[in-house]
Amino acid sequence: MKIQNNSNGSFTVTFESPFSQVTVKELLEEKLLIPRKIRHFLRTKKHLQINHQLINWQSSVEKGNLISLTFDQEDYPSKAIPFGDATLVDCLYQDDHLIVVNKAEGMKTHGNEPNELALLNHVSAYVGQTCHVIHRLDMETSGAIIFAKNPFILPIMNRLLENRLIGRDYWAFANGTMTNKDQVINLPIGRHRHDRRKRIVDFKKGQRAVTRFKVLKTFDSGESLVNCRLKTGRTHQIRVHLSHLGHPIVGDPLYNEGSQGERLMLHAHRLYFRHPLTLEDISLNAKSKSFEKGLP
């Protein structure tokens, strides 16, 4: 599995097919999610090879066959962004297509203005090319986050995310002692009517939101260390659910007013998924000094 950047601005993706017998159409359309326009370009420009040979579009692709796909700039127009500071990147994993990093608290995933530097800019500087956001973490939240290193892999990873095939576990320090040590909360989340920054549990207009909470440890100070597993991915989902239960997260500036924590005590400590091009199971852990003292 590799990416080759060509002198004319195109790039070639090469990998061994991990899929059992599929047609070329099924491979491109269903497995790799390549848009129709780009599939047309691959066909008319003869930019698809199997085992270094041009093939008939009705041919089948066997597991282990070497697939080569070449994309021109008109297929995926390049979009340059300002590079940030590569030294700010704590890399957990990378290959030719993906990079997973441990985001520090207080850092935005991406900027809201064209020249605003955020983690995306720092990761792009670390990689040496423009990267792409797959999912986000709140600015106040730390932990594992994935970026795509090329536009080819982006829709494939987006589908994994939409189908809940990218698992994410968080640690949270919550106020109070939670009596139910292992519970699944299914409460819809919608926008706050008066504060655009906030979300609320909204049974009429909210979107489905499901989180599993498991208490790992309780403290004499009246706090609980909780593992939170997302079953859906709504904005502020963990923060809203814990606040609704009466156990807001320590240091949460939106849902725990008056909390004395130095930071929002929420950390994405584990991320796991099956790589869509190799079918390798990947599980990554992100450390946090803020949470190490509270682990059981």
Q: What tokens were used for 56? A: 């008939």
Strands 48-50 and 2-5: unpaired
Cα–Cα–Cα angle for 258, 261, 264, rounded to 5 degrees: 100
Residue with tokens 């920054």: 197
| Sign of the alpha-carbon dihedral angle for 226, 119, 275, 40 | positive
User: 138, 182, 202, 281: which is the annotated catalytic residue?
Assistant: 138
Nearest to 231 by CA among 153, 141, 170, 156: 170
Residue 30 is classified by DSSP as I
Give the burial class of 37: count Cβ atoms within 10 A of its Cβ; 0-12 exposed, 13-18 middle, 19 or more buried.
exposed
Neighbours of 263 (CB within 10 A): 17
85 in catalytic set: no
Enzyme catalytic residues: 138
